[in-house]
Each structure stands twice: as C-alpha cells, then as structure tokens.
Structure 1
Amino acid sequence: MKINLFAIILSLSLVSCGSNDKKQSQNEAAPEFQNKGHQLVYDMAQKVGNYSKLMGKKDVVYTYTYETPDGKKDVVTEKYLFKGELSYGAYHTHERTLPQLQGLIEQGFDGSEFWLKHNGKILNDENLLKGVVFNRPTNFYWFAMMQKLLDKGLKYEYLGDKKIEGIEYDIVKVTFDIAGKKTSDTYQLYINKETALVDQFLFTVADFDVIENPYLMKLEYESIDGLLLPTKRKYKISTWNAEVTNEPWIKVTWSNIKFRNSLAKEDFKK
C-alpha cells in the first residue's frame, strides 16, 4: 500500500511513544534536567498543560482536516481514550487516504487489536491494515506531542537562540535514544522566549530516510478547556536554518475539540 506523505511524517512519533501509562509519570513532577534545553521543553509542557493534565480530560473527540495544495482533503472524526492511548478515526472524506474506496472508512485501536471497516464491513486485507497500525498510534501521538516531548528515552541539546521575523527563539534539539538504531528522528524546536510556546519546529523521519532535508512545521494555538493546543498547522520542506522553499504549504487543522465525552473501551472495539 502506498503511504501518503502525512502518514510518513507522523511516523517519527512512534519512536518515542508507547501505550504504557506509567511512562508518563515523569510529567507530574520536575525531573532532573539534562541541560537547559530539557528545562525549556519542560517549561513549555507546563505552559500548554502537561500530560497529567491531559490525562485528566479522560478522552477527546475532534475533527481532523488535512488538505494538500492541489485541494485534496481528508476529513476525519478522531476519538481518543487517553488511558491506554486508544484511538479511532472515521474518514468521512478520504481523498488522500484509501481514495480507491467509496463511502465511510473507520479505523480503530482498542488497546490490543487494530481494525479497519469500510461502510460497516470489516476488512482483513493485510496491506490495508498496515496503514491502520501506522496511523492510529501516530495520530494519537501527534495530538499529545507537546506533552510527550517529556517521554523517557529522549535527549535534549540547547543550540542557542535566534531572532526570526522579529521574534526571539530558544532552539532545542530533541533526539531519541533507541538501542541498536544507527539513526534517529530529530526535532529542532523553536521556543518563543516570550510565550514559552513552540511556534515552529524542524523534523526528520529516519525510518523513511527523510534525514538530509527536514520539514518545517508552523503552529497556531487555541485555548481549549485549560489547555493550549496547536490546532492550526502547516508544513513543507525546509533547511536546517528553517528556510523554506517556494512550494505551497500542506495544511492541517483540528476543530470541534471536545473533552470528557464519557468514552469507554467498548467504543474502540470493531
């Protein structure tokens, strides 16, 4: 199955995340900081709302819209249960994801099994299910990224500061310490000195050899139920100096975000 670009980009999330809730306990109290970069990331997570605060919301339902420069869209109802990192997506429009199928596509992860439905019928095609195994954990991670930048196994390096378009930024490099892996995905965070938020970041995807040229993601935040969420995003190819090409942006938005929907494990079963 051909994997679309956004799915590839999301794959970098997998190298640092798992569904073990105990892994998140480090977010509840200030850790022993590796260096200044680590402390800046910690301070950022407290500003947006740390993982413990996110877990307190129990669950979330929102609309995810992904649009390419040629006008093709995915419009998805996403649902997550934070305990266990359960994930569900209903693709009402899927011009980028499985465009060969007509009608509603549903994907799910119930904590132990990944599943796929087309117009209510279970699909067991192994190649199609690979996309589900790929998308469900990474979509969850992307939503909780700012909190999960404090997951165990991450390394932080403070690269200095820089002024971009009149705004002063601290730059922090984040990599993943994975045993037996020669290369690692990389984040280069631009943390606004005034707001303590990540306004933009560069990233690579080692598993797909997206290493030489990073992508630049720019973010706009929205305050929802006590959390600051990057609900508007756009990205394209860049350089390590955060210089972008003249290519148009790929745009991603989260809307209609609602927490505490009384979701249960049964809601994620096929």
Structure 2
Amino acid sequence: MKTQNLRFIAIAFLFMLASCSEKAKKTSEKVEAIVETKTAPEYTTADPQSILAAIEYAHGGWRDLWKKKDVQYTYNYHSTDANKTDISTERYIFSSEASYGHYTKHEINVMPGVSGEVTQCFDGKETMVLVDGTVTEDQQANVVGDFLRKANYFWFVMPYKLNDEGTITTYLGQEALNGTTYDKLNVTYDPEITGKTQNDSYVLYVNPETKLIDRFYFSLPFMGVNEPLIIADYEYKDVEGQMIATKRSYYMPSENGYAKAPNLVQTLTNISFDNGFTVENLMASAD
C-alpha cells in the first residue's frame, strides 16, 4: 500500500470498524452488567483477557464514562502528506450511541470540494447528512456519513470496545520501544460472532505500568490489508477521570517502510462531558 493512496486509506478508516459497530446495540447490556469497583483488576500475561480488563480500568471504566452521559469535543483530522484537514464538533450520547458531527472544514473524508458546512447525525438508528442545513441526497455522502458517525464513536470508546463479545486475544510477548518494555497483545474477532470471514486485527503495545495502549498496529481488510501493518501512536490526557487519546498519529506502510513523520494526525480538544444532550436536541442545540 502506497502513501500516495492516503485519501483512499483515510476513507477506509471509516469501514474498518464495521465489525465492531455491528455489536454496538449490546453496549447497554454490557454496561449494566458491570459491577463498579475501586480495586484494580489483576494484570497477568498468563491471561490476556485480564490485560484488556486492566486497560478498561486504567482508562477510567465503562461505568464511569456511562455516568457522564455524553461528550463533546473539537476534532481535527489532518493529512500531513496532502496538507488537508477535516475539522468537526463531535457529540456522542453513550446510552444510545447517537453520534453527531458538524464540519466547518471538510477537505479529506467529508464531501471534499463541496462548499458549505456539513452536518452528520446518527440517532441510534438512522443517519442524516445536511449541507448548510439542507438534507442531502448525495449517496456517497450519506454512506460516508453513516460509517463516520459509528467509526468516530468507536475510536472514542475503543479501550472498552476491544473487550466486546467475540474478542479473541493472544499474548505475543514483550518488545522494547522508546525506553519502555511493552506487553504485546494480538486482538481479533470471532467470525461466528461478527458474521464476517475477514475481521479487523490489532497488535496492541500495552504499557505494563500505566496499563494504557501507547501504540498499536491494525489491519484494513476492506482495502486488502489483511495483516496489522498500519501504526497508530496515542498520547493521553486525563479528562474528568477518563484517559482520552487526545493526539493520535498514524503511519502508513510503503515499499520503503515507515516515514519518520506521521501521515495522519488527529487531535481532540475542548472535551466536555455531561452536556445535557438528547437525541432530540443533539442537532438543535448545536447551531
């Protein structure tokens, strides 16, 4: 896969999460089953599933996030190769997984070349896309909008979604990187659960001290990348008890290996929880 195919790879990010999104409706049941605890779960490489549980706890916990009800943040999605950017205000309601994005700049994934501001809203069942307040019938814009709403939500709650039903986890040993010795996990999904013959796969680099995922490799079966080859480096900030990946740097493989500088950089700023959003006012209160 060549770096010059960046635009197509960027769009493919939307589709790589489809198998995870299909399990979204079970989120409420999962959270309700969680017993809140102040004791850190056991972290042992002999039980890879325990590492995923420790990751959830280190991030603040599903139940803590659930109590925060919703989130809003400014999302900057920047292609360093093309020097193009998508900028949106993102809003999610955790109980329904409703997802809203209002784009004031859209040069990569969201209707590039179209003038005006673009709004996408997924109410938990259907997605609507508007340009300057008018519903669009552009089929591609609607398809991309639907997947983006689910994909962006998934990325935000990824530390919890990795431990969804059907997860297959294998411990791969340790590797030193930038002065830290990481525990490596391979994570993929049971095709009998997802209903897909090719499922996303990850190689997670877990810091055994912080229990956070500082780096991971992932696949893109949709684009013919069946092995986890794309690198994501995450940097975190504590926002009201949740460890949020506020900077995400992505490195694309090429014939010459990986570039020193990331091909894509995503930043999350102005993060706020419990804003009083409902499905009914998610869009109306944004303008």
State the TM-score, normalized to the length of structure 1: 0.90
1:227 aligns with 2:234: no
- Which residue of structure 2 aligns with residue 170 of structure 1? 183
1:41 aligns with 2:56: no
Deviation (angstroms), 1:186:
0.4
Number of aligned residue pairs: give it: 265
1:259 aligns with 2:266: no
Contact 1:49/1:147, CA 8 A, preserved across alignment: no
Deviation (angstroms), 1:199:
0.5
Q: Which amino acid aligns with 1:169?
A: Y
Contact 2:130/2:136, CA 8 A, preserved across alignment: yes
- Which residue of structure 2 aligns with residue 123 of structure 1? 136
Alignment partner of 1:19 out of 15, 25, 28: 25
- Which residue of structure 1 aligns with residue 107 of structure 2? 95
- Report runs of 4+ in structure 1 exceeding 6 Å deviation: none
Aligned-pair identity (%): 31
Q: How large is the Cα RMSD of the aligned pairs? A: 2.5
* Alpha-carbon displacement from aligned partner over 1:45-103 (angstroms, at most 9, x marks no partner): 10111222111110001000011113211110001111110000000011112112111
For structure 2, the residue ranges without an aligned partner over 5 or more in a row are: 1-6
For structure 1, the residue ranges without an aligned partner over 5 or more in a row are: none
Deviation (angstroms), 1:11:
2.7
Deviation (angstroms), 1:13:
2.5
Contact 1:236/1:244, CA 8 A, preserved across alignment: no
Contact 2:217/2:228, CA 8 A, preserved across alignment: no
What is the CA–CA distance in structure 2 between the aligned matches of 1:28 and 1:177, rounded to whole Å?
Answer: 26
Q: Which amino acid aligns with 1:60?
A: V
Contact 1:16/1:154, CA 8 A, preserved across alignment: no
1:8 aligns with 2:12: yes
What is the CA–CA distance in structure 2 between the aligned matches of 1:152 and 1:26, rounded to whole Å?
Answer: 13
State the TM-score, normalized to the length of structure 2: 0.85
* Within-5 A mapping of 1:77-92: 77-92=89-104
